[in-house]
Chains A and B, each alone.
Chain A
Amino acid sequence: MEDLILKLKKEIINVLNREDITPEDIDTEAPLFGDGLGLDSIDALELIVLLEENYGVKIEDPKEGRKIFNSVKTMAEYIQKHQKN
């Protein structure tokens, strides 16, 4: 789980072009959207692509995304639950 969380943080920074932060800056349980990292709806779409491309986990309904992307922790949990091995 720890490895996955670190990997996710790096991928988030990469996909969302956040050159201004490091994985250490991202609190695993803090909200990613709104006040947290300040991500928006376009970022949510990019994260949906990320999940499918890197983990084979498909999110059909973007509204589901809000819960899944609440924090890095919830993302990691969702991946572990749905990833096909």
Chain B
Amino acid sequence: MEAFIRGIGNISPQYTYNNAFFLEEVVPHHSIRMLSREPDYKEYIKPIQLRRMSRVLKMGVTAAGICLRDANVETPDAIITATGLGMMEDSEKFLTSMIDKGERLLNPTSFIQSTHNTVGAYIAVMLKCNKYNFTYVHNFLSFESALTDAFMRLEERPSERILVGGIEGIAEIYFQITGSAGFWKKEPVESLKLLQYDSPGTIAGEGVAFFLLTKRPDPGNYALIRDVRTIYKPGGPKDIQEKIDHFLDKNKLDVRDIDLVLLGLNGDVEHDRIYHWLQENCFQQNSQAYFKHLCGEHYVASSFALWMAAKVLKYQRIPQAILLKDNRTPGKPIRNTLIYNQNKNITHSLMLVSSC
């Protein structure tokens, strides 16, 4: 159950849409939310299609386009998308209109585009791709579900090239409401110092990250995703550690073989406790990094982490901006990375990504 990453398209709160760069410039955000650095969409989408697209839809379709160009693939053999909230902007628009106009004279466009599979559908229409097309919507496990599906498909059809993407966009009203429910920091924070605030809440983020997966070895491949695992409501930290060991063992590895652990710390003092425990009791000998200070917290943040792991492995360098702890042996290549992400000790996910 593994696949190479042959192409990437990532639009995020950092300048990631240009694949030639890897965090040479890091964008700090002084806010409680991090909005994306967006490319010029007209390069990828015709005006007649662009006109009715919400921001997230533009991001989604464009990131997919960047990814396919990067992989030199015209039409993929399957399109699998992941999103926690889906097309929230369109939902808000239609809902607000429905309430304000008393259910009369409603414009259908935002309703049509509010379905969760809209991005996947638009990509299919634009590429005339009649192939398999699924959308996963299970909060923080959405992206991992999509990857799992892609792996299963590639086992059965090893010559296929599958487009997999995580999509999440900040929608205004939802952002305000979740703020009032305590999801985010009360005051604007310096994103690059996210872990230094001893307070509840985190910083809201967004992003779209697409990957072209294949079983074919190629010098152009970024990395090999070797395995992915999701865990629901485990016991305490020890149970999680056991599951991590089991996951690595299954892949003939030990925690000492992991050259870099990417952790989903998000600066929420309560939320990060589990990470701290693992940092001290499980990963204490590994080099450690984090990513949510660059992309913010959102349902498919792990797709940003995958982008990061792929780039680290391809370029064999770990940007200073992401390093928490440097336990590297000088001269030793970066071979294995482990991405670990969790939310409220309810959903946990692991991704093992290696060089190729």
A and B, direct touch (CB closer than 8 Å): yes
Residues of A within 8 A of B (CB): 15-20, 38, 42, 45-46, 49, 52-53
Q: Are B51 and A42 in contact (CB under 8 A)?
A: no
Q: Are A19 and B105 in contact (CB under 8 A)?
A: no
Q: How far is the CB of A45 from chain B (nearest CB, A)?
A: 5
A20 contacts B47, C-beta separation under 8 Å:
yes
Cβ of B18 within 8 Å of any chain A Cβ, yes or no, is no
Smallest CB gap from A17: residue in B: B51
| A18 and B107 within 8 A (CB) | no
* Interface positions of B (Cβ within 8 A of A): 47-48, 51-52, 105-109, 112
Select which of B51, B52, B105 is within 8 A of A52 by beta carbon. Answer: B105
Min Cβ gap A40→B in Å is: 9
Complexed CA–CA distance, A48 and B52 (Å): 17
Please name all residues of chain B whose beta carbon is closer than 8 Å to the beta carbon of A18 when the two chains form the complex: 47-48, 51
- 6 nearest A-B pairs in the assembled complex, by CB-CB distance: A17-B51, A20-B47, A45-B108, A53-B105, A38-B48, A49-B105
Shortest beta-carbon distance from B46 to chain A in Å? 10
The answer to whether A42 touches B105, judged by C-beta atoms less than 8 angstroms apart, is no
Q: How close is B161's CB to chain A, nearest CB, in angstroms?
A: 30
A19–B107 CA distance with the chains assembled, in angstroms: 18
Does B109 contact A42, Cβ atoms closer than 8 Å? yes
Least CB separation from B113: chain A residue? A42
Say whether A49 contacts B107, CB under 8 Å.
yes
Given A18-B47, A20-B48, 16 extra CB contacts under 8 A: A16-B51, A16-B52, A17-B51, A17-B52, A19-B51, A38-B48, A42-B108, A42-B109, A42-B112, A45-B108, A45-B109, A46-B107, A46-B108, A49-B107, A52-B105, A53-B105
Collect the chain A residues with CB atoms within 8 Å of residue B51's CB. 16-20
With a cutoff of 8 Å between Cβ atoms, the chain B residues found around residue A45 in the complex are 108-109
Residue in contact with B52 in the complex, picked from A42, A49, A53, CB distance below 8 Å: A42
* B47, A49: Cβ atoms closer than 8 Å: no
A17 CA / B106 CA spacing, docked (Å): 16
Contacts of A19 in B (CB 8 A): 47, 51
State how many angstroms separate the Cβ of A12 from the closest Cβ of chain B: 12
B107 contacts which chain A residues (CB < 8 A)? 15, 46, 49
Q: Which residue of B lies closest to A21 (CB)?
A: B47
In whole angstroms, what is the CA distance A52 to B104 when docked?
10
The answer to whether A49 and B106 touch across the interface, beta carbons within 8 angstroms, is yes
Chain A residue at minimum C-beta to C-beta distance from B52:
A17
A13 and B105 CA atoms in complex are apart in Å by: 18
Contacts of A42 in B (CB 8 A): 52, 108-109, 112
| Sampled A-B contacts (21; CB under 8 Å) | A15-B107, A16-B51, A17-B51, A17-B52, A18-B47, A19-B47, A20-B47, A20-B48, A20-B51, A38-B48, A42-B52, A42-B108, A42-B109, A45-B108, A45-B109, A46-B107, A46-B108, A46-B109, A49-B105, A52-B105, A53-B105
